[in-house]
Structure 1
Amino acid sequence: MKVAVIGTGSMGQNHVRLYSDIPNCELVGIADQNIEQTAKLCSLYGGRAYSDYRDLIEKEKPDAVTIALPTFLHKQATMDCLDAGINVLVEKPIAKTVEEAKEMIAEAKRVGKVLQVGHIERFNPAIQQLKDRIADGHLGKIFTIHSRRQSPYPGRITDVGVASDLATHELDMMRNISQSEVTTMTAEVSKVMNTDNEDIVFGLLRFDNGILGILDVNWVTPTKVRKITVTGENGMFKVDYLNQTLSFYSNFAAEQNETKSEWFRTKFGVSEGDYTSFRVEKKEPLRVEIEAFLQCCRDNDTPLVTGEDGLESLALALKIVECGNNCKCRR
């Protein structure tokens, strides 16, 4: 399978590195306006350098591409690739606007090609194990999902705010874990970095199955924090995305009662229990994501993260910003 990468920012460079190392695919080209950097990457990993991705499409005719351009360029590049019969893995957020995302999804369906969105945490081994344990009933009924995604300010991103760049990851994760859609939300946002876009987002979401989601995302923390906790009847799961760890804090009261519907109504419904750290086989999530994408291309199958998933996360992120800016309840 012939593959290519369009965009050589930090994520694009990682896609280049991994494509060059994955068996049964050939990196045929890399495109970016920064031709110096593109040529350097080609010398390290193979393929031919292009300053215009349209030339790459015409001359190399790849079977699949990663699009890792600035967000406002996602739609046009994706449409051009799909029109040329190329499968697309587009980095998140899927697009700048909901309308653009819908056009991309419609085009992928029209031409019958794969459109996968780069919500990388779906492929994190700790998250995959978490999902398996929740599906097995380890947690019982879920009450809350609390997501924290915090970072120093990324000077490389100027066209979107922290909601589109970081919160989309956690919104996708909340939808994926809850297996439900958001019905209501409240939010607060702040701009503290002298930019046009939000740097801090706090959100409270209610899903249609009753689960509460708590979103805590910013670009003003001087260290990376990537954590999610899921609390339910039988205890609380905690995932550290960065270290790929999964732990469980059990509810001792639940362990002592056979009739769950009764014990939780009593004052003894929750008490501290055992702490368990599960073994997680660590893998690079981006590699797992790319390998899954390529397999979908070979099989013409539905990807784990569809265009519709990317659309929903983007729509929620934009709605949170709108809500934070306009929906104020004052005393």
Structure 2
Amino acid sequence: MVLKVGVIGCGSIAKYRHLIEYSQNSEVEITAVCDIVKERAESAADTYDAEVFTDYKDMLESTDIDAVSVCLPNYLHAPVSIDALNSGKHVLCEKPMATSKEEAEEMIQTANKNNKKLMIGHNQRFVPSHQKARDLIASGAIGRVYSFRTTFGHGGPEGWSADGSNSWFFKKEEAFIGAMGDLGVHKADLIRYILQDEFTEVSAFVEISAKAHSDTDDNAALILKSESGIIGTLAASWAYNAAEDNSTVIYGEKGMLRLEDDPKYSLIAQYTNGETVNYELGAIQSNDEGGQTTTHVINHFVDSILNDTTPLIDGTEGKKSLEIILGALESVETKRICTLEK
């Protein structure tokens, strides 16, 4: 079976991630592309021999496609995904999956009602160093985990987004949140995955300090507490101008794990007995790679459809990661620690 897919939104995330990776999968045919900027859709269509649309509803109604990627500004993720699910399509939606808990729940319910796959594009779970760290923690290699720090920052989406400094990323009515939604939600999902633990409390500071033209946050710092009592920090920033930082450090009873924190070794395990183990597991994906990348997100989504399995980051998982970010926003607004629902 060849899976026929359509891509809604032909900006940078589609151009450098979704379209490239779909085209590299032998079990996929890119059938349709859609963008309100017709030239972008036409450019993608020329490259991948697909049909062009400027209205996603026309695409959903008039083409024979099995699945879609939703690569749109954040405020459109939920409504477009819901329409696609109701039209009988499997959906891979970019993160953050929605702008509210209610939207996320409606997406999950719609996927279940229509018996279709819903996956959220959190790629950090597929990074080899992250998967190895999860295994080491689960095996008890570093004993009880006490704390962590995780961060994701770079100079901002100006050089990445198709619209540069005029991008929707900087417009609150379209983006909903800035660096915390763009980058922080990735790390919220990652730390849940690595620790295999859920978070119960969050406190946050969120600021607009580095992007004068923006009305969305560009610097965020969160303090998190998990069900098992692990406490740690999560930082998301568009103000790391000198170099990208996508590192995570886990502190445990018998040692510590440094993930993507060294230029040569993607994972370094340092133990209290003096032993150090260096792992060369391949570099983490970066926007600086010029688009030639494999996130494994697309292949996993395709496999889940063809093999009828639950995606690793389904709607429920996406919602749990989103709720950490929503809790951080509540903390900022109330100037209190926010308790997250279990």
- The TM-score with structure 1 as length reference comes to 0.88
- The one of 299, 303, 310 equivalent to 2:311 is 303
Deviation at 1:281, TM superposition (A): 5.0
Match of 1:136 in 2: 139
- The one of 5, 8, 20 equivalent to 2:7 is 5
Amino acid at match of 1:247: I
Match of 1:262 in 2: none
CA distance in structure 1 between the aligned counterparts of 2:235 and 2:46, rounded to whole angstroms: 41
Match of 1:258 in 2: none
Deviation at 1:283, TM superposition (A): 8.3
Q: Percent identity?
A: 30
Unpaired runs of at least 5, structure 1: 253-272
Amino acid at match of 2:246: R
CA distance in structure 2 between the aligned counterparts of 1:247 and 1:55, rounded to whole angstroms: 50
- Structure-to-structure mapping, 1:1-40, within 5 angstroms: 1-13=3-15, 14-40=17-43
Deviation at 1:286, TM superposition (A): 4.6
Q: CA distance change for structure 1 residues 281 and 221 in 2, over 3 Å: closer, same or farther?
A: closer
Match of 1:79 in 2: 82
Determine if the alignment matches structure 1 residue 232 to structure 2 residue 234.
no
C-alpha contact (below 8 Å) 1:124/1:241 kept by paired residues: no
Match of 1:186 in 2: 203
Deviation at 1:325, TM superposition (A): 3.6
CA distance in structure 2 between the aligned counterparts of 1:165 and 1:287, rounded to whole angstroms: 16
Amino acid at match of 1:280: L
Amino acid at match of 2:33: I
Query: Residue deviations 1:242-265, cap 9 Å, x none?
Result: 97811111212xxxxxxxxxxxxx
- Structure-to-structure mapping, 1:76-225, within 5 angstroms: 76-154=79-157, 155=165, 156=167, 157-158=169-170, 159=175, 160-192=177-209, 193-194=211-212, 195-222=214-241, 223-225=243-245
Unpaired runs of at least 5, structure 2: 158-164, 286-292, 338-342
CA distance in structure 1 between the aligned counterparts of 2:204 and 2:75, rounded to whole angstroms: 25
Determine if the alignment matches structure 1 residue 248 to structure 2 residue 265.
no
C-alpha contact (below 8 Å) 1:144/1:211 kept by paired residues: yes
Query: Residue deviations 1:211-250, cap 9 Å, x none?
Result: 1121121111102110011111121111118978111112
Match of 2:66 in 1: 63
C-alpha contact (below 8 Å) 1:174/1:213 kept by paired residues: no
Q: CA distance change for structure 1 residues 291 and 242 in 2, over 3 Å: closer, same or farther?
A: farther
- Structure-to-structure mapping, 1:254-265, within 5 angstroms: none
Amino acid at match of 1:177: I
SS in 2 for 1:226: coil
C-alpha contact (below 8 Å) 2:137/2:195 kept by paired residues: no
SS in 1 for 2:33: strand
Amino acid at match of 1:181: E
Computed over aligned residues only, the root mean square deviation of the Cα atoms, in angstroms, reads 2.0
Deviation at 1:64, TM superposition (A): 1.1
Amino acid at match of 1:10: S
Higher Cα Rg: structure 1 or 2?
1
